[in-house]
Amino acid sequence: MKKLSFSVIVSFFALTSVLAQEKAIEKKASSGNPIFEGWYADPEATIFKNKVWIYPTYSAPYKDQLHFDAFSSPDLVNWTKHDNILVSADIKWANKAMWAPAIVEKNGKYYFFFAANDIQSDNESGGIGVAVADKPEGPFKDHLGKPLIDKFYNGAQPIDQFVFKDKDGSYYIIYGGWGHCNIARLKDDFTGIVPFKDGTNYRSITPEGYVEGPVMFTRKGKYYFMWSEGGWTGPDYRVAYAVGNSINGPFKKIGTVLKQDPAVATGAGHHSVIQIPGKDEWYIIYHRRPLTETDANHRVTCIEKMEFDKDGLIKPVTITKEGVAAGSFK
């Protein structure tokens, strides 16, 4: 009888704990900003299997940037952390500054693009690499055994890659630091570059004010090209954009859509964009620096709604502490 009573008591408290946790989750009506804990920057956001996935840079001194974590959510509010989806031990040529990932799914495989080593010239080892996994949470392994892009072309440092699938099914890599942005067409298996019809491999599409962090998406037949401006360590880091009729532009700068609010946070930039499938509902995911922080690497990942006016221009985004309400991706 005593054993039965003890068992019942334990079950009761276990059930009470579960119900309390469920109630706490129900009460969390908005994401808040930042959306998860830790120093993370340069977030790449996408949707896989009815969940939003965010792949950020681990924001730390270059020598300590030797791994990537990921975060997933079914509703933009409750997030699960996936540790060490890619580590430098599995990328023999990477030894520091593993940055700014991009990811795509193709034929059941997940291809993870990243920069490493912060090379300063063509005489150094590093650049943009590719890793592959069977699941969005990895583990990812080196796809090539060497960088995909390891040289400066058109003045663009090989960092900050974004991978875009055009309407004809072709994949393009858009990348570049040091104020220069290139576009190149990727081979179908992501092992190399396909030359353009004029024989060139890398085409400059650098818009006015570009510094780094390119992003591209389409809406209602238009190509939206976005990028970051200013210095990443300073308060004036921000996001600007242009609109074109094709992936090759031309892209003329329209204006700034995301910037600091001295009452909320500074250094708002290096973002990504997601759309709820089947709806004209958009979100911008970005990093910023809390007002309490002065360390350049103390950056956090945040989210806001992104809206368009009647002419298709992006409305200026207001950065908030509240974030966004829960959403569904089914």
Q: Is 26 exposed, middle or buried (0-12, 13-18, 19+ CB in 10 A)?
A: exposed
Catalytic residue among 42, 44, 69, 160: 42
Q: How many residues does the chain have?
A: 330
Closest alpha carbon to 185 in 166, 159, 210: 166
Order across the sheet with 252-258: list the strands.
Answer: 212-219, 222-229, 238-244, 252-258
Catalytic residue among 69, 118, 212, 304: 212
Distance CA 90, CA 145 (A): 9
Distance CA 201, CA 184 (A): 6
Do 307 and 282 meet the contact criterion of CB atoms below 8 Å apart? yes
Main-chain phi, psi angles of 8, to 5 degrees? -65, -40
Do 91 and 131 meet the contact criterion of CB atoms below 8 Å apart? yes
212 in catalytic set: yes
Distance CA 33, CA 308 (A): 22
Closest alpha carbon to 43 in 32, 54, 58, 59: 54
What token pair was written down for 281? 């509902």
Which 3 state secondary structure label does DSSP give 19? helix
Catalytic residue numbers?
42, 212
